[in-house]
Amino acid sequence: MVNHSHSPLCDKCSHINKIFCGLNIGKHNTIFEENKSVNYKKGMSIFSEGKYPTGIHIIHSGKVKIVKIGDEGKEQIVRFAKTGELLGYRALFGNHAYKASAIALNEVQICHISEKKFFNILSKNQYLYLNLLKKLSLDLGRAEDTILSISQKSAKERIAETIVSLYYKFGHDKNNSIDVQLTRKEIGNLAGTTIETTIRTLSNLKKEHLIELNGKQIVVKDMAGLMCTAHYENQ
Amino acid sequence: MVNHSHSPLCDKCSHINKIFCGLNIGKHNTIFEENKSVNYKKGMSIFSEGKYPTGIHIIHSGKVKIVKIGDEGKEQIVRFAKTGELLGYRALFGNHAYKASAIALNEVQICHISEKKFFNILSKNQYLYLNLLKKLSLDLGRAEDTILSISQKSAKERIAETIVSLYYKFGHDKNNSIDVQLTRKEIGNLAGTTIETTIRTLSNLKKEHLIELNGKQIVVKDMAGLMCTAHYENQ
DNA sequence: CGACCACTTGAAAACTCTCAAGGCAAGTGG
DNA sequence: CCACTTGCCTTGAGAGTTTTCAAGTGGTCG
């Protein structure tokens, strides 16, 4: 299933990773030189809900969805992560099993740092703590925004909001086509609704000339209108 | 509005606060001796969405709800905090305005530590970082659980789940009466539903002999049944 | 070509919300 | 002490949204 490649060595991560960016070059090498990156194909899981963490993961390249499984096996996306982000540190700090799974959305390369090594690095680089605290704070803030949205907004508002979020999270090309490919089902569960409602709503947004749809590609035609529809407040 | 009392000195916090519990006695004094505790009456806000933090707050005693305000001014409770917990550190670490408000649920005493002093303490007590990371990790996990619940569960399931959560968060007396008084509206918005649906659902749960209602007092009569109704999985 | 998967559409059913009205208890002012 | 106000709780009924179920399309892959 998993392809262990001996190159590239993951000192490359040091350049793409915001959280580790302050480490000096010498230290970089000691962190990453022994680590191998691991490749995951679309749909493969990087870690799974219920398992125990053995360290942290750094996304060398690619996009990942963090999902939880509900009672009837229905998947719920709680977050995305992309190149340069850390995964799995929450379970490590919380000292418990993973409470969600990480699934590759496309071809993903992951570097793994063992728990021991990670805490060792932490103890020597205090600002890393601050970076992690900041990251967790932002994630928690976003999660709470999501709670607010799902609780109080209509399906249409939530889907419009979801599109805006995806636009900012994953970026877009010069045509404003969002740089991520999700199924209708995934968009629906991001917005906390069913696939049918998602399809109907996307259709409506298209009719209102707010977006354009080309298969899985979503093109934002009228960001202001979308934000207005979403009652979007936060960046 | 606010009653500044010069006693008790807040070194008392050191005993009730899990996050600061490892500080040695000498350091305790330097942290807390200059701080005054502030009293808040029920309904008063300790800090408000949109304002900028000047430090962190420690709940010396009492119960607090963390709320966000939705588009139409509708309140959404995203979290509770009680005696011994820290408030407002997220905005501090994230380096942004408060994204939610903290409202006293009953008589609350709060100690405030300035930003400067707080970071100073942090820099000298590395394990504090770990405690905070752990706390944030758990909060994020809980927020994501909430997202899952609100997205996938019915109103009845969510209200049953809310009762179970309140039971564990705030504790209960020997009769299994939950140790917090919330309005129907607050319970509803915790569960992500309206006051009417909340009332009807609580009624149904009572008819099914899962709970007993005495005004705002909720007594758990059949925890197993409640958990089953809620499809409750996590502690 | 057939199987499969994702997408789409329609119609009915179910759930939840909204609106309206009334009850009850506590607090206020005459 | 009583009328009045206020806030919270409760119930009913209809409206509205969203889900569910069913059916069908289109594209891809072996």
Stretch 31-50 of chain B: residues touching chain A, C-beta under 8 Å: none
Confidence of residue B69 (pLDDT cuts 50, 70, 90): confident
User: Is the per-residue pLDDT at A21 higher than 60?
Assistant: no
**Is-contact A180 A63, C-beta < 8 A?**
yes
Give the span between the Cα atoms of B16 and B14, in whole angstroms.
6
Contact criterion met (CB < 8 Å) for A152 and B100:
no
Exposed e or buried b per residue across B131-163, where buried means at least 16 C-beta atoms within 10 angstroms of its C-beta: bbbbbbbbbbbbbbbbbbbbbbbebbbbbbbbb
The distance (Å) linking the CA of B214 with the C1' of D1 is: 29
**E strand residue ranges, A44-203:** 45-47, 55-61, 63-69, 75-82, 86-87, 101-104, 108-114
Closest CA to B11 of B26, B33, B27: B33
Confidence check: pLDDT of B8 > 60: no
Residue A146 pLDDT exceeds 70: yes
CA–CA dist A17, A32 (Å, integer):
12
The structure tokens listed for B128 are: 């504090």
Q: Give the per-residue pLDDT at A63.
A: 94
Closest Cα to residue B159, out of B99, B90, B62, B231? Answer: B231
B233 with B195: CB under 8 angstroms? no
Is the pLDDT assigned to residue A218 strictly greater than 70? yes
State residue A9's pLDDT score. 39
Give A178's DSSP letter.
Answer: B
- Stronger pLDDT, B63 or B233, i.e. the higher one: B63
Q: What is the DSSP letter of B50?
A: T
Nearest-Cα distance to chain B for A97, in Å, is 11
Confidence band for B60, pLDDT divided at 50, 70 and 90: confident
- The pLDDT tens digits of the residues spanning B159-212 come to 999 999 999 999 999 999 999 999 999 999 899 999 999 999 999 999 999 999
> Residue A164: what pLDDT?
96
pLDDT of res. B26: 42
For residue B79, the distance in angstroms to the closest alpha carbon of chain A comes to: 9
Mean confidence (pLDDT) of chain B: 84
Which tokens is A137 given? 């704070």
pLDDT at B5: 36
Q: What are the pLDDT digits (tens) for B132-159?
A: 999 999 999 999 999 998 888 999 999 9
Q: Which residue has the tokens 């805490």?
A: A119
d(CA B211, CA B162): 13
- pLDDT tier at A75 (50, 70, 90 boundaries)? confident
Cα A20–chain centre separation: 18
Per the CB < 8 Å rule, is A151 touching B151? no
Q: Are strands A55-61 and A108-114 parallel, antiparallel or unpaired?
A: antiparallel
What is the average pLDDT across B26-39?
Answer: 60
Q: pLDDT value at position B4?
A: 38
The band of A72, judged by pLDDT with boundaries at 50, 70 and 90, is confident
DSSP assignment of B93-113: HHTS--SSEEEESSSEEEEEE
**Does any CB of chain A come closer than 8 Å to the CB of residue B93?**
yes
pLDDT above 90 covers a percentage of chain B that reads 60
**Cβ-proximal residues to A102 (8 Å cutoff; 6+ apart), any chain:** A45, A46, A47, A57, A64, A65, A66, A67, A81, A87, A88
Q: Give the pLDDT confidence of A109-144 residue by residue, as tens digits.
A: 998 889 998 888 888 888 888 889 999 999 999 999
Query: Do residues A78 and A66 lie in contact, with contact meaning Cβ atoms separated by under 8 Å?
Result: yes
**What H or E segment, with its residue span, contains residue B39?**
strand B37-40
* pLDDT above 70 as % of chain B: 83
Structure tokens at A179: 């740089």
Q: Which of B72, B136, B146 sits opposite A136 (nearest CB)?
A: B136
pLDDT of residue B10: 53
Chain D: positions less than 7 Å from a protein CB are 8-13, 17-22
Angle at A193 between CA A211 and CA B152, to 5 degrees: 155
A100 contact B CB<8A: yes
Does residue B155 reach within 7 angstroms of strand D, measured from its CB?
no
Out of B79, B132, B147, closest to residue A146 by CB: B147
Per-residue model confidence (pLDDT) at position B121: 85
Q: In what order do the strands lie in the sheet with A55-61?
A: A3-5, A37-40, A108-114, A55-61, A86-87
Please report the pLDDT score of residue B2 as a whole number: 37
Q: Quick check: A179 pLDDT over 60?
A: yes
Contact B84, B39 (CB under 8 A): no
- Written as one letter, the residue type at B224 is A
Task: State residue B21's pLDDT score.
Answer: 58
- Is B79:B142 a contact under the CB 8 Å cutoff? yes
CA to C1' distance (Å), from A153 to C5? 31
The predicted pLDDT at position B3 comes to 38
- Smallest CA–C1' separation from A215, nucleotide: C7
Answer for B213: CB within 7 Å of strand D.
yes
CA dist., res. B225 & res. B64, Å (int):
29
Contact A75, A69 (CB under 8 A): yes
Q: What is the pLDDT at residue A129?
A: 87
**HEC secondary structure over B110-167:** EEEEEHHHHHHHHHHCHHHHHHHHHHHHHHHHHHHHHHHHHHHCCHHHHHHHHHHHHH
Q: Name the pTM for this structure.
A: 0.87
Of the candidates B234, B175, B38, B132, which has an alpha carbon nearest to the alpha carbon of residue A134?
Answer: B132
B202 touches strand D (CB under 7 A): yes
pLDDT at A191 over 50: yes
CA of B46, C1' of C28: distance in angstroms = 29
pLDDT at B25 over 80: no
| Amino acid letter for position A83 | T
Distance from CA of A2 to the nearest CA of B (A): 28
pLDDT digits (tens, 9 = 90+) for A39-70: 999 999 999 999 999 999 999 899 999 999 88
